[in-house]
């Protein structure tokens, strides 16, 4: 994580994002602009909640670690999000992992000096409640998608959400676990995408050659909460 001391960029982000809709007199809060590099964790399961995070730009995935040691994919972030609201309201440790898939800009609000302010901020509590209601509503949809949608559609959505410059390059063993399938089934599905000319394997990575077809195939499976 890198703290960004750029007042012009900071003010631009405040103007272009709905911070004033989730914090009363946001100028009174010690917001920090930070940058997470690709691969860094914004939140890690089991760690204490030390700040509220406002996701600004970039791409990140949200996943859980199950009791059997496997990972379970929830969704992707790619626009303004409040992260940490559920843990704040319920006074819990962090319940999911949030990992940057590209460079990600966030505004962080440290809880230690702001805990009482946030509990007395009706605008924040209202925004948190609305956000939690949306999460509750979409959790059932995500579970249905993971259980009922075929791997082909879930993989198409994953590829579209995680590729960079139309290049998909992931650890396929880890990905098969994340999508709840076997490594062989994953390879067969990727080969099928290549046969259909959605992808082309080149130098150990997959290049996307039909992004619109993949988008249509995986539309709305892994949506963001906000």
Check residue 194 and give its pLDDT: 96
pLDDT for 225 equals 39
Predicted pLDDT at 226:
35
- The strands making up 205-208's β-sheet, listed across from edge to edge, are 167-168, 205-208, 199-202
Q: Write down all domains in the chain, each with its CATH number in brackets.
A: 2-146 (2.60.120.10), 149-217 (1.10.10.10)
**Gap between the Cα atoms of 107 and 52, Å rounded:** 8
> Residue 202: what pLDDT?
93
> For residue 108, which of 16, 10, 15, 223 has the smallest C-alpha distance?
10
Q: Is 97 left (phi over 0), alpha (psi -120 to 50) or beta?
A: beta
Please list, in sequence order, all residues whose beta carbon lies within 8 angstroms of the beta carbon of residue 156, skipping any fewer than 6 positions away.
193, 198, 214, 215, 217, 218, 221
Give residue 15's pLDDT: 95
Planar angle of CA 122, 127, 133, nearest 5 degrees: 125
pLDDT (0 to 100) of residue 139 = 61
- End-to-end Cα spacing for the chain: 24
pTM exceeds 0.75 for this model: yes
Please give the pLDDT value at position 64.
87
- The answer to whether the beta carbons of residues 22 and 123 sit under 8 Å apart is yes
pLDDT digits (tens, 9 = 90+) for 177-214: 888 889 999 999 999 999 999 999 999 899 999 999 99
* Residue 155 near residue 183, CB atoms below 8 Å: no
* Predicted local confidence at residue 224, as pLDDT: 45
Dump the DSSP string for 36-53: EPTT-EEE-TTS---EEE
Ranges of residues in the chain whose predicted pLDDT is under 70: 137-148, 220-226
Nearest alpha carbon to residue 193 among 165, 222, 158, 164: 158
Which pLDDT score is estimated for 220? Answer: 61
């Amino acid at each position: 994580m890198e703290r960004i001391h750029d007042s012009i960029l900071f003010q631009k982000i405040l103007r272009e994002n709905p911070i004033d809709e989730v914090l009363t007199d946001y100028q009174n809060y010690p917001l920090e602009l930070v940058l997470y590099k690709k691969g860094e964790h914004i939140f890690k399961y089991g760690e204490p909640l030390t700040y509220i995070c406002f996701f600004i730009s970039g791409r990140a995935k949200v996943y859980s670690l199950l009791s059997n040691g496997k990972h379970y994919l929830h969704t992707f972030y790619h626009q303004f999000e409040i992260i940490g609201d559920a843990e704040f309201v319920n006074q819990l440790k962090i319940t999911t992992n949030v990992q940057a898939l590209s460079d990600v800009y966030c505004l962080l609000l440290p809880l230690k000096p702001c805990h009482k302010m946030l509990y007395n901020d009706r605008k924040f509590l209202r925004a948190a409640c609305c956000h939690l209601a949306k999460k509750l509503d979409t959790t059932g949809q995500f579970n249905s998608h993971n259980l009922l949608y075929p791997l082909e559609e879930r993989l198409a959505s994953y590829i579209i959400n995680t590729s960079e410059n139309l290049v998909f390059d992931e650890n396929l063993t880890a990905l098969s676990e994340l999508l709840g399938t076997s490594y062989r089934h994953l390879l067969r599905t990727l080969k099928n995408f290549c046969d259909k000319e959605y992808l082309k394997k080149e130098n150990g990575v997959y290049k996307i050659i039909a992004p619109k077809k993949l988008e249509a195939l995986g539309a709305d499976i892994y949506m963001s909460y906000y």
